[in-house]
Amino acid sequence: MQALRAMSAIEDGDGEGVVVDCCCGHALLALGCASEANATRVVAIDRSEAEIERAKRNVARAKKEVEMVGGDGAAVDSVDLRLGDGLSALRDDERVDVLVVAGVGGRETDAEV
């Protein structure tokens, strides 16, 4: 319930809107939070180099698509991809409004935008 209230506050513009997508995989959820939930910053973390590379491709593709339709890409730019083991990739002083841990399966996927 707390997460729903936090996401609602982000959508309403009442919060800074920092979302952490732990075990982000392909980063599609992180991109959605950045563009649809109006998160001001999304930290997407995964311990797999292959998944972070896939996430980088998805972020680059999303930015290109936004620019093609005349957008400024600010939402896509707010996605901060990090290679790391869970929350240890965060700095001690980093703010987190919403923490998402979904799809923790330990295997790489083929999901791309």
Residue 44: give its domain's CATH number.
3.40.50.150
Rounded Cα distance between 9 and 34, Å, is 14
Secondary structure (3-state) at 97: coil
Rounded Cα distance between 46 and 43, Å, is 10
106 in any annotated domain: no
110 in any annotated domain: no
Residues of the chain short of pLDDT 70, as ranges, are 1-16, 103-113
Within a 13 Å sphere around the CA of 103, how many CA atoms are in the beta-carbon half? Answer: 17
* pTM of the shown model: 0.79
pLDDT at 1: 47
- Domain with 42, as residue range(s), is 2-101
113 in any annotated domain: no
40 in any annotated domain: yes
41 in any annotated domain: yes
Domain count for the chain: 1
44 in any annotated domain: yes
pLDDT at 76: 86
32 in any annotated domain: yes
Token pair listed for 71: 């957008």
108 in any annotated domain: no
Beta pairing partners, 85: none
Where would I find the H helices in the chain? Answer: 2-12, 28-36, 49-68, 74-77
